[in-house]
Amino acid sequence: MVQKVDSDPGRHMQNQSAVEEFILLGFQGQPALLFTAFLTIYLAILLGNGLILVVTTCDSALRTPMYFFLRNLSGLEICYTSVLLPKMMANLVTGDLTISLQACATQMFFILFLGATECFLLAAMAYDRYLAICLPLRYMMIMNHRVRARLVAGSFAISFPVQLVQIGLIFSLPFCGPNVIDDFFCDIPPVLNLACADLFLNELAVYLENVLFVIVPFFLILASYVYITRTILRMPSKTGRQKAFSTCSSHITVVSLFYGSAMLVYLQPKTPDKVVSLLYTIIIPLCNPLIYTLRNREVKAALSRLFGRKPSFEVSSEIT
């Protein structure tokens, strides 16, 4: 009797060895020390961004478009790190490094969704600075409550369906093993590296997503600051130029850190660097409140009023 030979051994391997969970290697070292470090960072992120949420909501002096966007950015940072850090800390405490395919897909979706939303939110903040500096007489008329609410809602709305499609494409792939992810969260490059299928469509989707959510907002920000710089350089007063630059400095710093680290990861997807990933997923949300408070007298004055203290400096009128 002639034995029937399976014409597709790869399919047989997929059926017999389908991966149901991944192993997140994370950071190797002393679990107690790493847990303490990440817990401290997480609490600092919650405290710093939470204070910005409170002070920009409660203080009437900060109810301007610029601080409306800052409040949304802080809320986004809290959600973003809450997707990552609790799972990391749980892995360190329990020693269980596994994550199911469903949990991995959910984590990846929220990371992509919130990260892409932040890209467009940063672009909206650059547009806000463009209007404030280049069109100051029409600023409040253009950047009214309805417009800024639509800009924020649009940042979320653009990202949501695209990331759903992206997650569907990725997790419809067969994963036959190995199942070890050399990272601390479910990111696109290391997960795709584990798939046993043709990745052309997925790599094309990743490329198009990078263009839409990284390159396009970046060039919108760049264009805004070209016009801003040209306008500032034409100002006759040195004091006016300094005030105008001061209203942009914090945003420029955040954009430089965020886009610089994100591009290092996603424009070279084959070999992602855990340290670089740590920078833009955790360290930048930790630094953002410091950047926006240490460099902003209005926020420092509002924090002083919040805690019942008189500001130790005079708050000068700035372009808001």
Q: What is the dihedral of CA 232, 234, 239, 240, to 10 degrees?
A: -60
Query: What's the CA gap between 144 and 6, in Å, rounded?
Result: 66
Residue 6: pLDDT band with limits 50, 70, 90 = very low
- pLDDT given at position 222: 95
User: Rounded to the nearest 5°, which phi and psi values hold at 175?
Assistant: -120, 110
pLDDT in the model for residue 242: 85
In the structure, what pLDDT confidence band is assigned to residue 176 with cuts at 50, 70 and 90? confident
The predicted structure's pLDDT at residue 186: 93
Confidence of residue 178 (pLDDT cuts 50, 70, 90): confident
Q: Report the DSSP beta bridge partners of residue 99.
A: 22
Mean pLDDT, to the nearest integer, of 115-126? 94
Cα(53)–Cα(299) distance, integer angstroms: 11
CATH class, 18-306 region: mainly alpha
- According to DSSP, the β-strands at 180-181 and 21-24 are parallel
179-194: b or e for each residue (b if 16 or more CB lie within 10 Å)?
bebebbbbbbbbbbeb
Which region among 143-157, 180-194, 299-313 has the lowest average model confidence (pLDDT)? Answer: 299-313
pLDDT classification of 214: cutoffs 50, 70, 90:
confident
Range from 28-32, 58-62, 97-101 that averages highest in pLDDT: 97-101
pTM of the model: 0.86
pLDDT above 60: residue 8? no
- What pLDDT score does 278 carry? 84
Q: Which residues pair with residue 181 across a beta bridge?
A: 24
